[in-house]
Structure 1
């Protein structure tokens, strides 16, 4: 079957001065078509160029074309567009990615023309929008005129990516490469963020992620997971490794099972070759992929997004640096909203704790002047930095502040705690800021699988105040008597705060927790108190009754012994009631020796930490 292509553009019959023209974006900007318009622009002025993120040579936003074009972008990207916005020669329109198509269809931003990059037509006359379906399809459907760049380098993608050649009013043929974006190198900070985020991802989860180092690091640590799925507004090279390893199968997806669902791709030629004629990867318009109710149809939906700053209540700034607009809303709110209502879903904001060579904290007491909130404090469940995971869902303002201070850079924690007193109610007894245990290494969270259940071992911290109080009131009288040698009746918030506010550089306090969604429950606590007078420390433990006999105390003890040895502490002591035989056995299994005691009701034990034994 012979396919006849539309004629070459006669721009005077397609647009006029003052027209609003959509330009296809991301990695698939029709550069040759834009240049064709510029070459035939005599008599035109004030053409509004509407687009999403546009990579490469965004020449229409240059100063030299200010009389011809005015850019209006939904997402600021690249130095040329950003400079034009900063100088007032271009506009930034904030809008959820899922709602942009509605601006075209309801006439808010009616389109006179749409310029898009498409594959050559197949034998039936269908061209593919390739790596950029996103809002391009909506623009094609709503624009009065469609002008295409027929490009053999545009991949043919599955899904709803096709337009028929009869829908195109004019075209040019141009063999032009898609913009390639290589995966940036992963630094140590990003590596740790990726490790922490991966701990929140369970087998069978469905993922959304953006571009950059953090998604790349996260997906790297998911290669040993099983049956992951992808429902993401965009794809990058970061999916190639977990896809090749078999970690991504899409088998457990509850919406489009067996398929990767996306709307655009940005990456290297390797990614574009992967999506070309691949029936397992389907491209749909952003109005469909980013619709929160569609996102929520995926059980265990994990949305991984980033931010420029997060304040201590959990408000997320993602599109501006103070008064300077930097990027855009994009799909963050769409996916945060969708994941939050998904069964088992987790909206995650992941970001480095600092900026500008560790001179500025991205965890702030309040958002910067001029900055705007993209994602509200009510939407965010988790905030992840290289210092850990802050769990915010269901937390009070005080608890949120303490959680976020814990994952801030250590050198900013004291100042953040001081600042938060001026704005939010933090009681006078909340005197200490969170500290880490350096001997645990860069990752302070250790995953434990105990009798088929997943737990985490980590340092106790001030944000655990209420959790420790709940832990105390879960104990039986017998447990309290054996641990404290008497029957304490009360654990006030103030006393609980004192117990969790530990200077981990001298003493050490660890806990084993179970995390179910945003609910965190303490199941065991172990600590030692350092005695500088003789370079010794005293260890103590308590375990929730339902977990006793499962080895939690032994795990905590072994970890504390390792910390004490690394600190050069000479001896570890323990004082246990004589009738607490299970606890005595735990210490003796760790090579503690009984010492002579004048009180037969107590057993004194000692471990020589300087011994090679």
Structure 2
């Protein structure tokens, strides 16, 4: 029965794209789950579309429709999180195609649905699926459920791009064929990202952070050299748990060494709770049909009021700069968008509301080969604040860690100067006095 229905709805990618409305908004799955079949071919239908808005998050590929000037008139790309390819289009090539969507991860999907519906736009969700389950009629959303399930439930048209290489993930990840309008097949390789080896400064930062994490903690750990270094320093801990938007390679290492057991968590004991996965093939093999990994929608996983229900919750994220009063910039340099807010503020706020929880922001004390301090008197004009100063808890650099919650502006300035690079401390003190902070 379901196999026959699958055949009835199966189209070529070209047929499916050409059947979309001439004016529409198409949301695709996130990051390594992005629908490469659609994204690689949609530019060929320039004459079909009067105006098409494509919505992505953390693009892993480079696609013609947002990288060539000829598509400026009738193609738009809106993204919740910039990557190398979208930065190239926006800032290097200066094309008028890419735009950024300010957001908090746990509200991103529903906010976008509301915005598009208010504009009267037809919303298409072009999803990626693991192989179809012929016995039950269900598709599986694979390695991302940040906003995907919300989109499936609220879109006007749902297209499933089935990829036989996509892992099958347990959790709130199923979608039935009765609720799918079109099916296409496209068997591309799942994108991998290399493991970032920590630099010496990052190893020093990691040591300060590791000392803040007691046995039995539940962790959210971001991506990059500092989080990877922290992972290596947690091998002597016991009974750690994971409640995180993004699964990282270091978590698998700690699980295999018996450090992560997920048994001391307040919520979902015994389970990794994630919203998406992005890593190496080893990670994708680990989570494929793994009943110990639950992928739940980002609206739940990253809701601060869910995060805080885990006692001893620790959220670790990285930043670009911090000003002397504690305003954190993690996604931009001045007005130039580098990445996105993602779930940083979500998990940070959840952690500081948790019983015995900690929100940690980590950064190297300098940038550009030591020529500038990342702890600054004031943020550049137009720089977006990712974590407001009233939320800031712990800050760590390679020169130490300071606890800022409850401290006055002057106390914060002194503490932050103490973990700035020694070459910049006097200058920061002078600026702090000029600003009336100390």
The bucket for the TM-score relative to the shorter chain is: over 0.9
Per the alignment, residue 3 of structure 2 pairs with: 3
Is residue 73 from structure 1 mapped to residue 79 from structure 2 by the alignment? yes
* Most deviating of 361-370 and 162-171: 162-171
**What's the secondary structure of 1:48's corresponding residue?**
strand
Measure how far apart 1:268 and its partner are: 0.3
Q: Distance in 1 between matches of 2:19 and 2:278?
A: 30
- Counterpart mapping for 1:439-588 below 5 A: none
Is residue 22 from structure 1 mapped to residue 22 from structure 2 by the alignment? no
Is residue 338 from structure 1 mapped to residue 350 from structure 2 by the alignment? yes
Q: Distance in 2 between matches of 1:309 and 1:24?
A: 30
Per the alignment, residue 313 of structure 1 pairs with: 325
Q: Distance in 2 between matches of 1:411 and 1:48?
A: 48
Is residue 99 from structure 1 mapped to residue 107 from structure 2 by the alignment? yes
Measure how far apart 1:418 and its partner are: 0.8
| Gapped regions of structure 1 (runs ≥ 5) | 427-613
Determine which structure has greater relative contact order: mean sequence separation of CA pairs < 8 Å that are 6+ residues apart, divided by chain length.
2
Note if contact 2:104-2:341 (Cα within 8 Å) is conserved in structure 1. Answer: yes
Is residue 382 from structure 1 mapped to residue 387 from structure 2 by the alignment? no
Measure how far apart 1:396 and its partner are: 1.3
Q: In the TM superposition, what whole-angstrom CA distance separates every residue of 1:68-115 from its partner, at most 9, and x where no partner exists?
A: 42101111112x211333334211110111111222453555652011
Measure how far apart 1:65 and its partner are: 2.9
Measure how far apart 1:152 and its partner are: 0.9
Per the alignment, residue 410 of structure 1 pairs with: 422
- Counterpart mapping for 1:586-601 below 5 A: none
Note if contact 1:58-1:81 (Cα within 8 Å) is conserved in structure 2. Answer: no
Is residue 194 from structure 1 mapped to residue 206 from structure 2 by the alignment? yes
Per the alignment, residue 55 of structure 2 pairs with: 50
Per the alignment, residue 498 of structure 1 pairs with: none
Q: Distance in 2 between matches of 1:65 and 1:108?
A: 21
Measure how far apart 1:212 and its partner are: 0.9
Per the alignment, residue 131 of structure 2 pairs with: 120
Measure how far apart 1:135 and its partner are: 1.0
- Counterpart mapping for 1:410-429 below 5 A: 410-426=422-438
Is residue 257 from structure 1 mapped to residue 286 from structure 2 by the alignment? no
| Number of residue equivalences | 425
Measure how far apart 1:14 and its partner are: 4.3
**What's the secondary structure of 2:391's corresponding residue?**
coil
Q: Distance in 1 between matches of 2:328 and 2:63?
A: 29
- Counterpart mapping for 1:264-275 below 5 A: 264-275=276-287
Q: What is the TM-score normalised by the length of structure 2? A: 0.93
**What's the secondary structure of 2:390's corresponding residue?**
coil
Is residue 283 from structure 1 mapped to residue 291 from structure 2 by the alignment? no
Q: Distance in 2 between matches of 1:25 and 1:59?
A: 18
Note if contact 1:15-1:112 (Cα within 8 Å) is conserved in structure 2. Answer: no
Distance of aligned partners of 1:240 and 1:287 in 2 relative to their CA distance in 1, 3 Å threshold: same
Q: Distance in 2 between matches of 1:183 and 1:393?
A: 33
Q: Distance in 2 between matches of 1:30 and 1:306?
A: 28
Is residue 354 from structure 1 mapped to residue 357 from structure 2 by the alignment? no
Q: Distance in 2 between matches of 1:362 and 1:159?
A: 40
**What's the secondary structure of 1:349's corresponding residue?**
strand
| Bigger-Rg structure (1/2) | 1
Q: What is the TM-score normalised by the length of structure 1? A: 0.67
Distance of aligned partners of 1:46 and 1:392 in 2 relative to their CA distance in 1, 3 Å threshold: same
Is residue 326 from structure 1 mapped to residue 338 from structure 2 by the alignment? yes
Measure how far apart 1:18 and its partner are: 2.8
Q: Distance in 1 between matches of 2:49 and 2:290?
A: 42
Q: Distance in 2 between matches of 1:237 and 1:12?
A: 36
RMSD between superposed Cα atoms in Å: 1.6
| Gapped regions of structure 2 (runs ≥ 5) | none
Q: In the TM superposition, what whole-angstrom CA distance separates every residue of 1:196-222 from its partner, at most 9, and x where no partner exists?
A: 111110000000011111111111111
Is residue 232 from structure 1 mapped to residue 244 from structure 2 by the alignment? yes
Q: In the TM superposition, what whole-angstrom CA distance separates every residue of 1:227-247 from its partner, at most 9, and x where no partner exists?
A: 000000001212121111111
**What's the secondary structure of 2:402's corresponding residue?**
strand
Q: Distance in 2 between matches of 1:111 and 1:313?
A: 44
Q: Distance in 2 between matches of 1:376 and 1:346?
A: 16
Measure how far apart 1:25 and its partner are: 1.8
Distance of aligned partners of 1:401 and 1:107 in 2 relative to their CA distance in 1, 3 Å threshold: closer
Per the alignment, residue 133 of structure 1 pairs with: 145
